[in-house]
Amino acid sequence: MSTLDSRGADLGKDLDATVRARRELGEDYDSALVDSFLEKVEQRIDDTVDRRVRRHLAEQQMAAARGGRPSRSADSWAERFGFALVSLVLAIPLSAIGGAFGGMSGIVATWIGVVGVNAAQAVRANPELLTARGRRPAGDDEH
């Protein structure tokens, strides 16, 4: 089982425990239970961002030590895929929370957030997506 799979499984277990606790404790503790679960999700996101920042800084330092420019490996296909995968894994428990507390509108809001985060990541990695210059006609292969 990969690290990503184990983190997703841990989040699933945390969500399951939160839902069971809500059933046992009743609606009076909804806010506290949701806050607790969201703190765990936030901590996992923070840990992931910290690892990425450290890796990116190390790559920049290595490139500077070699006398070259920093590589764009931080925007590699694998990292973009990993970001999308992590966001989808986190979307599952967040959808369950949104559905439990907000019904269909909670689920829709969750998925708007997931799409928004992925769109922001895509634009950050490829700012030319927002400009007309970044759009080429079909069949225009420069590379």
Q: How far apart are CA 25 and CA 19, in angstroms?
A: 10
For residue 143, the model assigns a pLDDT of 46
List CB contacts of 141: < 8 A, sequence separation 6 or more: none
Q: How far apart are CA 126 and CA 130, in angstroms?
A: 8
Asked if 136 contacts 105 with a C-beta cutoff of 8 angstroms, the reply is no
- The angle that helices 77-125 and 30-66 make with each other, rounded to 10 degrees, is 100
For residue 9, the model assigns a pLDDT of 73
Encoded tokens for 124: 């950050």
- pLDDT means per 10 residues, the chain with 143 residues, are 60 84 83 84 84 86 72 64 84 88 91 89 80 57 49
Report if pTM > 0.85.
Answer: no
For residue 109, the model assigns a pLDDT of 92
Domain coordinates in residue numbering, the chain? 3-134
